[in-house]
Amino acid sequence: MKMAISRIAVVATIFFCSTVSWAAESILRIGVMADMSGLYADLSGPGSAYSVELAVKDFGGLVSGRKIEIVQADHQNKPDLASAIARRWYSTEGVDVIVNAAGSAVALAVVEIAKTYNKSALITGAVTNRLSNESCTPNHVHYGLDNDAIVNGTVNALVGKGLNTWYFLVADYAFGTSLLTAATNFIEHSGGKVIGSVKHPLNSQEFSSQLLQAQASKAQVIGLANASTDMTNSIAQANEFGIAKGGQTVAAMIVFITDVHALGLQKAQDTLLTTAWYWDSDDKSRAFAKRFFEKFNRVPTYYQAADYSATTQFLKAVSKTGWADGRKAIAAMKGIAIDDFFAKGGKIREDGLLIHDVYLARVKKPSESRRPWDYYDIIATVPGDKAFQKISESRCPLVVKK
Q: What is the CATH number of the domain that holds 102?
A: 3.40.50.2300
Tell whether 119 and 131 lie within a shared domain: yes
Tell whether 155 and 227 lie within a shared domain: yes
Tell whether 123 and 50 lie within a shared domain: yes
Residue 167 bridge partners (DSSP) = 196, 222
pLDDT tens digits, 333-353: 999 999 999 998 899 999 999
Residue 352 bridge partners (DSSP) = none
Tell whether 71 and 206 lie within a shared domain: no
| 173 within domain boundaries | yes
The whole-number pLDDT of residue 273 equals 87
Tell whether 138 and 202 lie within a shared domain: no
What is the distance between the alpha carbons of residues 15 and 25, in angstroms, rounded to a whole number? 15
- 10-22 in b/e form (b: 16+ CB < 10 A) is eeeeeeeeeeeee
The whole-number pLDDT of residue 25 equals 60
Torsion angles phi and psi, residue 44, rounded to 5 = -130, -95
| 166 within domain boundaries | yes
Please choose, from the candidates 289, 285, 259, the residue with its C-alpha nearest in 3D space to the C-alpha of residue 271.
Answer: 259
Where is average pLDDT lowest: 50-64, 70-84, 143-157, 334-348? 143-157
- 273-290 in b/e form (b: 16+ CB < 10 A) is bbbbbbbbbeeebeebbe
User: Of residues 272 and 366, which shows the higher confidence score?
Assistant: 366
What is the distance between the alpha carbons of residues 70 and 62, in angstroms, rounded to a whole number? 12
Tell whether 14 and 111 lie within a shared domain: yes
Please choose, from the candidates 352, 379, 166, the residue with its C-alpha nearest in 3D space to the C-alpha of residue 270.
Answer: 379
| 395 within domain boundaries | no
CB 351 within 8 A of CB 396: yes
- Greatest alpha-carbon span in the chain: 93
Does residue 89 carry a pLDDT above 60?
yes
What is the distance between the alpha carbons of residues 22 and 347, in angstroms, rounded to a whole number? 33
The whole-number pLDDT of residue 261 equals 96
Domain count, the chain: 2
Model confidence at 402, pLDDT cuts 50, 70, 90, reads low
| 397 within domain boundaries | no
The residue range of the domain holding 33 is: 9-145+281-356
203, exposed or middle or buried, with CB in 10 Å at 0-12, 13-18, 19+? middle
CA angle 176, 178, 183 (to 5 degrees): 90
What is the distance between the alpha carbons of residues 35 and 290, in angstroms, rounded to a whole number? 23
What does pLDDT average to over the chain?
A: 90
Tell whether 162 and 308 lie within a shared domain: no
Q: How many of the other CB atoms lie within 10 Å of CB of 300?
A: 29
What is the distance between the alpha carbons of residues 144 and 132, in angstroms, rounded to a whole number? 12
Residue 273 bridge partners (DSSP) = 361
| 2 within domain boundaries | no
| 198 within domain boundaries | yes
Tell whether 237 and 381 lie within a shared domain: yes
Tell whether 33 and 139 lie within a shared domain: yes
Does residue 100 carry a pLDDT above 80?
yes
Tell whether 186 and 41 lie within a shared domain: no
| 396 within domain boundaries | no
Answer positive or negative: Cα dihedral of 34, 37, 41, 42: positive
pTM over 0.85? The answer is: yes
| 69 within domain boundaries | yes
The whole-number pLDDT of residue 333 equals 97
CB 127 within 8 A of CB 175: yes
CB 356 within 8 A of CB 276: yes
The whole-number pLDDT of residue 88 equals 98
Share of the chain above pLDDT 90, in %: 74
Tell whether 179 and 153 lie within a shared domain: yes
How many separate helices (H) and strands (E) can be counted in the chain? 14, 15
- Torsion, Cα of 183, 187, 188, 192 (10° steps): -150
